[in-house]
Chain A
Amino acid sequence: MSRLRQFLPGIAIIVLLIAAWWLIVVTTRSVIFPTPWQVVTGTVELIRDGTLWMHIGASLGRVGAGFFLALAVALPLGLWMGWQRGAYDTLNPLFQILRPISPIAWIPIAILWFGVGNASPIYLIFISSVFPMVVQTVAGVHTIEKRYLRAAENFGVSRYKLFTQVVIPAVLPQIIVGMRIGLGVAWLVVVAAEMIALRSGLGYLIIDSRNAGNRYDLVIAGMIIIGLIGLMLDGLMRLLEGLKMVRWRYAH
């Protein structure tokens, strides 16, 4: 019951917004802006002809590829930069310059290097999610409490054991935070990237619906689906925060 009460205001505001939207479209007799019901029927149409799953699958596939590629690079790189002062001093200035560049600004270069196939959006996702994950991992290594390193030194463990049982688990909560940020940015970027020149994906769906006969019901359907999937992806990442071996960090 208390959970219901917690969610009620959030649901109420969404219902209220939809009602207002409906009312305004009806009273202004807009011919181009759809009512909520038209968005629903548009969505059903997309589900029936199977294109919705195809677009969702294409977007998720690109995000998955770019994100995991970024993770595979960011983890070792972040650990190395965090542990070796020299690596940090060498690479950090470069990263601090590259990091604020919006992934959207990379689009022309991505097209130049990778063409208009799948590789371009995957590269853009890689670029957008690799930096937050590196930064969080480095910060995680830098904030490991000295008493844990001292204890490891005291017990005389090997370098391998030091990393697998002390450094990596100590940084894991920060890595998960980085993954959440990285995946969030990746999802933002894939939609933008797909608006350029591909023939599939939710970004393409939105642009194509507008270009091919001002189907604004499908534009809004696409937007809502993007929002819902983004929420789900973040929910998945939050499941990682529930792992017992990282709970110590989030408990307080």
Chain B
Amino acid sequence: MPIKIDVANLRKSFSTDKGTLTVVDDVSLQVGDGEFIAIVGPSGCGKSTLMRMMAGFIPPDSGRVLIDGAVRTQPGPQGILISQHGSVFPWLTVQENLMFGLNAVESTAEKIAIADHYANIVGLKGFEGAYPHELSGGMLKRVEIARALAVKPAILYMDEPFSALDALMSLRMRNELLKILGQERHTVLLITHDVEEAIHLADRIMVLSPRPTRIQATFDVKMPHPRKLTSPEVQQLRQAILKELGVEAED
């Protein structure tokens, strides 16, 4: 498997009123092409900062991010970031949102065809003309994912994408994401505080330490999909990860 993302010695600190605050402290990791990596860590540990540096939104103080061997300095359509609160444009219809990123496509007819195709994939057929405020939280998430997929990004950066949804909808979205990734392979970097979500989705799970964050442990998840979340293997892995996070699971 060729290396897609190669991160070496990433560091970032912010200056605050109380002095310098080191948020990310020497993180190195490699992600293979088509691999699904989940990064879990305690809240406020610098997960989002790490993700934004990898996606090119903020520059690191030191270290480097290589994508396909080239240094990443700014965001671009080859790596789309999906965040917790979403960024579906409320003033555009579902179809217009899905067409938004299609800059390379010349003809409008072709753009509409692509938008409709991805609306269909995420189960939004019939809602192309709807405005976001007419949709539920789960449907908005689908628009967000479809808009990202439509530009065929090599990498999906997902920063707590489902944490604003209720538990049932979150579970359903995970299953749909797996289904979509079964059809179109993407390299995915998922940040989450939900250990079960990480085990459900990822090929590899990295546990981050509290701030200043670094990679504390890595777990390979070898179970084939679809994964049964109640299986003893999953429970064992969950306990091991929780222990790394400093939470002793009961029972």
Contacts and interface: CB of A to CB of B under 8 A. Distances in A.
Given A155-B80, A156-B103, A248 B75 contact: no
Contact of A153 (B75, B92, B132): B75
B85 interface: yes
A166 B75 contact: no
A150 B76 CA distance: 10
A158 B77 CA distance: 13
Interface stretch (A32-40, A123-131, A222-230, A239-247): A239-247
B51 interface: no
Nearest to A166: B89
Contact of B76 (A147, A154, A247): A154
Main secondary structure of the interface of A (DSSP, over half): helix
A245 B76 contact: no
Interface of A: 147-148, 150-151, 153-158, 161, 165-166, 169-170, 172, 244-249, 251
B14 interface: no
Given A156-B76, A157-B103, A158-B103, A150 B89 contact: no
B92 A150 contact: no
Nearest to A152: B100
A248 B87 contact: no
26 contacts: A147-B83, A147-B85, A147-B87, A148-B87, A150-B75, A150-B81, A151-B87, A151-B89, A154-B75, A154-B76, A154-B79, A155-B77, A155-B101, A155-B103, A156-B75, A156-B76, A157-B101, A161-B103, A166-B89, A169-B91, A244-B131, A245-B91, A246-B91, A247-B131, A248-B131, A248-B132
Interface in B48-92: 55, 57, 75-77, 79-81, 83, 85-87, 89-92
B131 to A, nearest CB: 6
Interface residues of B, number: 24
A245 B100 contact: no
B175 to A, nearest CB: 25
Interface of B: 55, 57, 75-77, 79-81, 83, 85-87, 89-92, 96, 100-101, 103, 131-133, 151
The 7 A-B pairs with the shortest beta carbon distances in the complex, nearest first, are A248-B90, A151-B87, A155-B101, A169-B91, A147-B87, A248-B133, A245-B91
A156 B90 CA distance: 19
Contacts of B151: 155
Contacts of A169: 89, 91-92
A158 B37 CA distance: 32
Nearest to B91: A169
A137 to B, nearest CB: 16
A169 B101 CA distance: 17
Nearest to A169: B91
A187 B152 CA distance: 53
A154 to B, nearest CB: 5
Q: A150, A155, A246, A248: which has the most chain B beta carbons within 10 Å?
A: A155
Contacts of A244: 131
B80 A150 contact: no
Contacts of A246: 91
Given A246-B91, A248-B90, A154 B131 contact: no
B146 to A, nearest CB: 13
Given A147-B86, A156-B75, A249-B90, 16 more contacts: A148-B87, A150-B81, A150-B87, A151-B87, A153-B75, A154-B77, A154-B80, A156-B76, A165-B92, A165-B96, A166-B89, A169-B91, A172-B91, A248-B90, A248-B91, A248-B133
A117 B57 CA distance: 57
